[in-house]
C-alpha cells in the first residue's frame, strides 16, 4: 500500500487527524479503508444538504460527510440504494423502481458535482487507483431487491449504473426471499430469488446475505459461483438476534472465501426491551420527515433539527440501553477469533441506524485500528480487514461473470 502517510485537503486546507496515538493513526492512514454499508445516499435527497460540509448527528441526524470521512480516514465503500419494503402491487412495485433509480441518480450526481473529491468505482482494481488520487471511492449496492419488481432482468440496468453488490431482502419477506426478521414464506429463496442470485453471478455482482434468513444464506452460499458476503451483520454468539450470524455460518462464510462485515446497529449488538410508548412517539417524530424532499432547504433543516431535538428528549423520557465501542468490538473480535482477519471487515450501517457510544460517526473509525494494532494484528492483516477482503470477493465475482 506504500509507507507514506496520505494527505487530505478540505476546501484547500490540510485537515489534521486527531484521536488515537500517532503510530496507530499512521497505520490507519496507509490502508485502503472501506465500509460495505453506507446509507448516506438518503441524505443526498435532503434539500440543501451538502456532503462537503461537516455536519453533526446531534443536529442533523447524519454520520457521514466528506470532512468526517477525511477525519476518520474512511476512503469510501458501498453506497446503498435502499428502498423500504412496500406492497407487492403494481403501484407499489412501480414506485419502488422509480425511487431506486432516483437514488442511483443522486449518487452519480454527487460524484459529478465533486469530481475532485469523489469517483465512481466499478471493479476491484478501481479502489487502489482512486485512493491513490486521494478521492473517495464510490461503489454502489442494492439493499432490498424489492424495486426490481417482477422483472429480474432490471438488475442489468442497475449493473450498468454501477451496482456491484445486491441483497435480496430487508426487514420483511418480499418476492425474492425470506427475511431474517419475518416469518418464513419461501423457506429461503423464492424461484425468482434463485433467478436473481444466478443473474447476479452472471453480471459479476456480489451477493449480500445481510437481512436474509438463515435458509437464504445457506442457499446462496451453496449455489453462488463466487463467495457471498454479509455487508452489515453481527455475531449471534455475542448477541442472539436473527439478524446476526451463528458461528457455523460465519465459519461457512470463511470456508467459501467470503467475509462478514460487522455492523454497529444498537438493536443487533445488545437487547432493547420492547417499549410501545417510545416506538409510537418515535414514529410520530419521524413522520415529520416524510415530505422532506418537497420542503425548502431552510424548512428541511429546521424539520431535521426539530426531530433531532425530539429524539434527545425521547431518550430522556424513555431511555433504552445503548451499545458502546466495547460492545461493538466484542462482535469484531469474536468474528476475528473465529475465522481470522481474512474474512472480517466493517459495515457499520452509518446513516441507517448504526453508531455506538464512543463511535458515533465515521470520524471515530481510527479507534478500531488502534484496538486491533494493540491486539497484535499486522498491517497486512489490517489491510484485508479494512478493504482487501471485500475487494478479493469482488474480484472473484468478476472472474465468475459471464459475458453479455
Residue pLDDT, tens place only, 128-159: 999 999 999 999 999 999 999 999 999 999 99
Residue 278 falls within a domain, yes or no?
A: no
Instruction: List, for residues 164-184, the tens digit of each pLDDT value.
Output: 999 999 999 999 999 999 999
Is residue 64 predicted with pLDDT exceeding 80? yes
Is residue 110 predicted with pLDDT exceeding 60? yes
More confident: 24 or 244: 244
Gyration radius from the chain CA atoms: 20
> Which DSSP letter does residue 6 get?
P
- Which domain range does residue 337 map to? 9-272+321-400
Query: What is residue 402's predicted lDDT score, i.e. its pLDDT?
Result: 87
Q: Which residue has the cell 471487515?
A: 345
Is residue 340 predicted with pLDDT exceeding 60? yes
Q: Give phi and psi for 175, each to the nearest 5.
A: -75, -10
Instruction: List, for residues 276-301, the tens digit of each pLDDT value.
Output: 999 999 999 999 998 888 999 999 99
Taking residues 256-270, what's their average pLDDT? 97
Residue 301 falls within a domain, yes or no?
A: no
Taking residues 225-239, what's their average pLDDT? 98
Q: Where are the beta strands (DSSP E) in 54-106?
A: 76-82
Angle, alpha carbons 210-215-217 (nearest 5°) = 35
Residue 118 falls within a domain, yes or no?
A: yes
Residue 297 falls within a domain, yes or no?
A: no
By CB atoms closer than 10 A (0-12, 13-18, 19+), residue 57 is middle
Q: Residue 330 maps to which CATH number?
A: 3.20.20.140
Residue 48 falls within a domain, yes or no?
A: yes
Query: What is residue 20's predicted lDDT score, i.e. its pLDDT?
Result: 58
Is residue 19 predicted with pLDDT exceeding 80? no
Query: What is residue 1's predicted lDDT score, i.e. its pLDDT?
Result: 35
Q: Which helix (H) or strand (E) holds 5?
A: none
Residue 123 falls within a domain, yes or no?
A: yes
Question: Whole-structure pTM over 0.75, yes or no?
Answer: yes
Query: What is residue 21's predicted lDDT score, i.e. its pLDDT?
Result: 66
Distance between CA atoms of residues 226 and 347, nearest Å: 20
Is residue 307 predicted with pLDDT exceeding 60? yes
Query: What is residue 293's predicted lDDT score, i.e. its pLDDT?
Result: 87
Is 387 in contact with 127 (CB distance < 8 Å)?
A: yes
User: Considering the chain, what percentage of its residues have pLDDT values greater than 70?
Assistant: 94
117 CB contacts (<8 Å, ≥6 apart)?
52, 66, 135, 136
Instruction: List, for residues 342-375, the tens digit of each pLDDT value.
Output: 999 999 999 999 999 999 999 999 999 999 999 9
Residue 242 falls within a domain, yes or no?
A: yes
**In whole numbers, what is the pLDDT of the chain averaged over residues?**
93
Cell of 270: 445488545
Query: What is residue 26's predicted lDDT score, i.e. its pLDDT?
Result: 85
Query: What is residue 24's predicted lDDT score, i.e. its pLDDT?
Result: 78
Distance between CA atoms of residues 210 and 391, nearest Å: 18
Query: What is residue 3's predicted lDDT score, i.e. its pLDDT?
Result: 33
CB hemisphere CA count around 329 (13 angstroms): 16
Distance between CA atoms of residues 249 and 272, nearest Å: 24
Give me the number of domains the chain comprises.
Answer: 1
Residue-level length of the chain: 404
What are 177's strand-pairing partners? Answer: 189
Is residue 23 predicted with pLDDT exceeding 90? no
Query: What is residue 297's predicted lDDT score, i.e. its pLDDT?
Result: 94
Residue 358 falls within a domain, yes or no?
A: yes
Amino acid at each position: 500500500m506504500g509507507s507514506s502517510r496520505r494527505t487530505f485537503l478540505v476546501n484547500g486546507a490540510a485537515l489534521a487527524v486527531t484521536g488515537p496515538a500517532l503510530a496507530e493513526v499512521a497505520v490507519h492512514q496507509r490502508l485502503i479503508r472501506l465500509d460495505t454499508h453506507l446509507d448516506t445516499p438518503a441524505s443526498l435527497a435532503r434539500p440543501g444538504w451538502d456532503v462537503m460540509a461537516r455536519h453533526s448527528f446531534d443536529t442533523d441526524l447524519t454520520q457521514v460527510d466528506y470532512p468526517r470521512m477525511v477525519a476518520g480516514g474512511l476512503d469510501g465503500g458501498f453506497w446503498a440504494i435502499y428502498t423500504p419494503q412496500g406492497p407487492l402491487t403494481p403501484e407499489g412495485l412501480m414506485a419502488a423502481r422509480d425511487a431506486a433509480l432516483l437514488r442511483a441518480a443522486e449518487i452519480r450526481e454527487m460524484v459529478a458535482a465533486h469530481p475532485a473529491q469523489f469517483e465512481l468505482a466499478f471493479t476491484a482494481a478501481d479502489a487502489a487507483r482512486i485512493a491513490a488520487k486521494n478521492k473517495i471511492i464510490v461503489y454502489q449496492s442494492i439493499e432490498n431487491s424489492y424495486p426490481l419488481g417482477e422483472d429480474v432482468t432490471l438488475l442489468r440496468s442497475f449493473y450498468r449504473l454501477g451496482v456491484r453488490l445486491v441483497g435480496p431482502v430487508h426487514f420483511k419477506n418480499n418476492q425474492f426471499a425470506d427475511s431474517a426478521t419475518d416469518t418464513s414464506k419461501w423457506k429461503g429463496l423464492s424461484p425468482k430469488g434463485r433467478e436473481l442470485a444466478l443473474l447476479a453471478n452472471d453480471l459479476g455482482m456480489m451477493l449480500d446475505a445481510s437481512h436474509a434468513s438463515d435458509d437464504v444464506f445457506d442457499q446462496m452460499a451453496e449455489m453462488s459461483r463466487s463467495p457471498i458476503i454479509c455487508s452489515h451483520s453481527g455475531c449471534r454468539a455475542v448477541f442472539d438476534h436473527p439478524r446476526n450470524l451463528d458461528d457455523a455460518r460465519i465459519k461457512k462464510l470463511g470456508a467459501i472465501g467470503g467475509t462478514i462485515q460487522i455492523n454497529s446497529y444498537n438493536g443487533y449488538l445488545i437487547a432493547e426491551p420492547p417499549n410501545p410508548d417510545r416506538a409510537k412517539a418515535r414514529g410520530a417524530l419521524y413522520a415529520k420527515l416524510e415530505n422532506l424532499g418537497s420542503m425548502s432547504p431552510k424548512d428541511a433543516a429546521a424539520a431535521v433539527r426539530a426531530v433531532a431535538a425530539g429524539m434527545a428528549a425521547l431518550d430522556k423520557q424513555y431511555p433504552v440501553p445503548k451499545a458502546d465501542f466495547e460492545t461493538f468490538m466484542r462482535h469484531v473480535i469474536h468474528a476475528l477469533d473465529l475465522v481470522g482477519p481474512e474474512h472480517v471487515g466493517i459495515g457499520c450501517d452509518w446513516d441507517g441506524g448504526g453508531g455506538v457510544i464512543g463511535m458515533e460517526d465515521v470520524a471515530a473509525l481510527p479507534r478500531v485500528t488502534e484496538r486491533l494494532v494493540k491486539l497484535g494484528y499486522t498491517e497486512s492483516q489490517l489491510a484485508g480487514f479494512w478493504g482487501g477482503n471485500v475487494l478479493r470477493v469482488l474480484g472473484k465475482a468478476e472472474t465468475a461473470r459471464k459475458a453479455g
